[in-house]
Amino acid sequence: MRVQYLAVEAAPLAKVGGLGDVASELPPALIQLGVELRRFLPRYPFLETADLDVQQVASVRVFGRSAEVFAAEVNGVPTYLIDGEPIRASREVYESPDRDGDKFTFFCLAALEACEAMGWAPDILHVNDWHTAPGLLAMSDRRRTGGFWARTASLLTVHNLPYMGAGAEGALANYGIAPSEEPLLPSWARRLPLPAGLAAADWLSTVSPGYADEIQTPEFGCGLEAYLANRRDRLVGILNGIDLKVWDPATDAALATRYTLGTLEARAANKRRLQQELGLPQLQDVPLLGMVTRLAHQKGIDLAILALQQLKKEAWQFVVLGTGETALEDAAVRFAAEHPDRVHAVRRFDGGLARLIYAGSDMLLLPSRYEPCGLAQMIGMRYGSVPVARATGGLRDTVPDYQPGGKGLGFVFGPPEPTAMAAALKRAMETFADRRRWTGLQRRGMRQDFSWTRSAEAYRRLYQRALDRRGG
Ligand code: GLC
């Protein structure tokens, strides 16, 4: 089974968010299952390829411009890097919508040309988010007239529905990609890469079963709920995994002390180190709450601040690490300035500190307004930090609510409102005070299997279904 996998970021070469983790970790898991997968990425000038053996394998043309195709093996994954003028000019993965539309569409078309040049016809074209939807649109178009792509089935995975590629419509037109003619798609959506891609794709997926259901409702569907509900027999939710080797408190070099399920007491040293680094009082009995996040409206830092303000009388400490929207960064910094003895805001990207927060915090706050999957809650549980999360999307699928009898993995709340979050936090703090119960809860989280193997198996089955139903 041959799979062409397109993405515009993949760790460790280029990573901005969760998509970069998925595009890094899912392909090797699929290859382990025997899938013949080739991953395609843009060769940005800032790509970290110093350690790789990169060979040019083809040179193709896209609308009069030349594109060079390079190949390298990255963590066992045959990876094809596309170079060309629109890609070479980029300074970051995501820039302005029209520039992104141009470079991503160029990338997608070059990736199709590369397959033709190599004589490697995929059984499945698997694209991710709006950025690579143009590849699927162009492939569907070519497939209609038979030839090279005649037997290729397509899958579009949605990692974040609201990002539909607005501003990239002109770029699509420049590359000869026509608006969707799907009558069931709202007319405003037909020129946008993501919705047009959804209409053209043979199969659709999202990164959790919960989000797959939610996007068929007005609250989460962004205006596409009716269309998506109509295609529910072709829409699948597959939960992401995490790399258990990359995220392992037993071997993590960023920690003050490494630990396992059996040596959970050793975790205390990480809490001490974290408090010391942040200049917070070194108290073990006070719950330390952590948040590692993009500071986007989606992630609900504002909800967390308002909820904690309602809990001023309780004892807690709070650290938030992340960058993003200026207004939210400012709100976090202001909150810290108001409570220097218990709140700390770190406005930068810091992988080492993130790991120390997973290992040293008692609770991890995840008040997302929506969450297609979410990786932090899985990492937190593996490190023994208990999630306090909103019941939405992948959070709901991975964090069942704590029940005193010994079930559940965290503390969840329904409405995205400060009062509901404060109530969940209060329950968490009460349970934290009971050492025996708390360590039981931590251990249960650490025992969960969030490995990629299960997800990869689900994708492989979906690919097989797509092959079996090819053309029908
Ligand atoms: C997006 C989503 C996040 C998901 C990630 C990887 O960043 O917001 O929920 O975990 O994609 O699929």
Partners of 235 in beta bridges: 204
Atom of ligand 1 nearest to the CA of 393: 9
The verdict on pTM exceeding 0.85 is yes
Q: Contact 65/84 with Cβ under 8 angstroms?
A: yes
CA angle 70, 75, 81 (to 5 degrees): 20
Tokens of 51: 């350690």
Mutate to test the pocket of ligand 1, among 8, 15, 215, 373 (most ligand atoms within 8 A of CB): 373
Q: What is the pLDDT along the chain (472 residues), one digit of tens a residue?
A: 999 999 999 999 998 889 999 999 999 999 999 999 999 999 999 998 888 999 999 999 999 999 999 999 999 999 999 999 999 999 999 999 989 999 999 999 999 999 999 999 999 999 999 999 999 999 999 999 999 999 999 999 999 999 999 999 999 999 999 999 999 999 999 999 999 999 999 999 999 999 999 999 999 999 999 999 999 999 999 999 999 999 999 999 999 999 999 999 999 999 999 999 999 999 999 999 999 999 999 999 999 999 999 999 999 999 999 999 999 999 999 999 999 999 999 999 899 999 999 999 999 999 999 999 999 999 999 999 999 999 999 999 999 999 887 789 999 999 999 999 999 999 999 999 999 999 999 999 999 999 999 999 999 999 999 999 886 5
**Cα gap 9→93, rounded to integer Å:** 7
Would you list the DSSP string of 349-393? --HHHHHHHHHH-SEEEE--S--SS-SHHHHHHHTTPEEEEES-H
Residue nearest to atom 6 of ligand 1 (CA): 18
Mutate to test the pocket of ligand 1, among 127, 164, 240 (most ligand atoms within 8 A of CB): 240
Residue nearest to atom 10 of ligand 1 (CA): 374
Q: Contact 387/363 with Cβ under 8 angstroms?
A: yes
Among the residues of 119-254, which ranges form H helices? 129-144, 169-174, 193-200, 209-214, 225-230
b/e 217-228 (16+ beta carbons within 10 angstroms → b) = eeebbbebbebb
Atom of ligand 1 nearest to the CA of 19: 6
Atom of ligand 1 nearest to the CA of 159: 11
Mutate to test the pocket of ligand 1, among 5, 375, 377, 390 (most ligand atoms within 8 A of CB): 375
**Cα gap 4→124, rounded to integer Å:** 6
78: Cα within 13 Å, side-chain hemisphere: 12
What's the CA-to-centroid distance between 38 and ligand 1, angstroms? 22
Q: Contact 418/306 with Cβ under 8 angstroms?
A: yes
Atom of ligand 1 nearest to the CA of 240: 12
